[in-house]
Amino acid sequence: MTASTHGLLAIWSTVQEPFETDYLHWLTREHIFERVGVPGFLSGRAYRRRDSAPSEYVIVYTLENAAVMASEGYIERLNNPTPWTQSVMPHLGQFRRGGGTTIVRAGQPGAFGSRLAIARFDRLPAAVTQEALDAIAALDRVTQTWVMTVAPDATSIATREKSMRTGTEGIFNSVMAVEALDDASLNRATDAAQALTRHDCRFEPYDLVFSFSKTH
């Protein structure tokens, strides 16, 4: 399977336990539906990092292409957050956000795993090639693996929603992820990905919490 030209947007944040239920209700009853309703957004998935305290979540959106992040429809939403979004944003910590283009993908397109291991890079290692990802995707019970490079101009656009968050957003150049059906399979795939990247970064394990895809 060769690389898709789809865009991706990945967003990390932490939330303290007293606000976690409200955060999850916001995410699964309003926010992901709102985002996937924006033209160019195709799907949204939320994962919780295993054994994290405070709880860390990553939301992965599939886009028609990276240009959607600078589109009129998306910027309008970012500059006009809902009342619920306005109440949630100040409670999010360690916020990181990066979006761009999928440059390498292997496995079954559109087939998401319930287990995800994901890592951020300042510079993508040269060993991360289509052939190397094909080998990881061929492992038992692995659904897919992919690499996204960040489009910094589109990611860094100043918006009203961004101004509501405390602290600074983390900066990274690229993201690599592997998706699998169970913990043992994810561990094997993660070991292969970690060896491929020469341990330049850490792949963290996440469990699927919620997903929604556009049906038309």
Q: How far apart are CA 146 and CA 22, in angstroms?
A: 31
Determine which of 1-15, 63-77, 152-166, 188-202 has the lowest per-residue pLDDT on average.
152-166
Q: Identify the pLDDT of residue 178.
A: 97
Classify domain 7-213 at the CATH topology level. Alpha-Beta Plaits (3.30.70)
pLDDT, averaged across the chain:
89
pTM above 0.85, yes or no: yes
Task: Give, in order, the Cα–Cα distances in Å from 102 to each of 9, 75, 120, 144, 175.
Answer: 10, 21, 14, 13, 9
Q: Is the peptide bond before 54 cis (omega within 30 degrees of 0)?
A: yes
Take residue 33 and report the two structure tokens written for it.
């539906």
Taking only the tens place, the pLDDT of each residue in 154-169 is 666 655 556 665 555 5
Taking only the tens place, the pLDDT of each residue in 91-101 is 999 989 899 99
Q: Identify the pLDDT of residue 110.
A: 80
- Burial pattern 8-27, b for ≥16 Cβ within 10 A else e, equals bbbbbbbbeeebbeebbebb
Q: Where are the domains of the chain?
A: 7-213
Take residue 210 and report the two structure tokens written for it.
């919620």
Helix (H) or strand (E) holding 15: strand 7-15
Q: How far apart are CA 175 and CA 153, in angstroms?
A: 17
Q: Identify the pLDDT of residue 165.
A: 53
Q: Identify the pLDDT of residue 3.
A: 46
Q: Identify the pLDDT of residue 197.
A: 86
Q: Is the pLDDT of residue 153 over 80?
A: no
Task: Give, in order, the Cα–Cα distances in Å from 70 to each of 86, 154, 157.
Answer: 21, 5, 8
Measured from the Cβ of residue 61, the count of other Cβ atoms closer than 10 Å reads 23
Q: Identify the pLDDT of residue 187.
A: 96
Ramachandran assignment for 40, one of left (phi > 0), alpha (psi -120 to 50 degrees), beta (any other):
left
What residues have CB less than 8 Å from 163, skipping those under 6 apart? none
Q: Is the pLDDT of residue 151 over 50?
A: yes
Compare 78 and 199 and report the one with higher pLDDT: 78
Q: Identify the pLDDT of residue 4.
A: 52
Q: How far apart are CA 162 and CA 145, in angstroms?
A: 30
Taking only the tens place, the pLDDT of each residue in 19-55 is 999 999 999 999 999 999 999 999 999 999 999 999 9
Percent of the chain topping pLDDT 90: 75
Angle between helix 183-196 and helix 130-137 axes, rounded to 10 deg: 160
Taking only the tens place, the pLDDT of each residue in 170-210 is 578 899 999 999 999 999 999 999 998 876 678 999 999 99
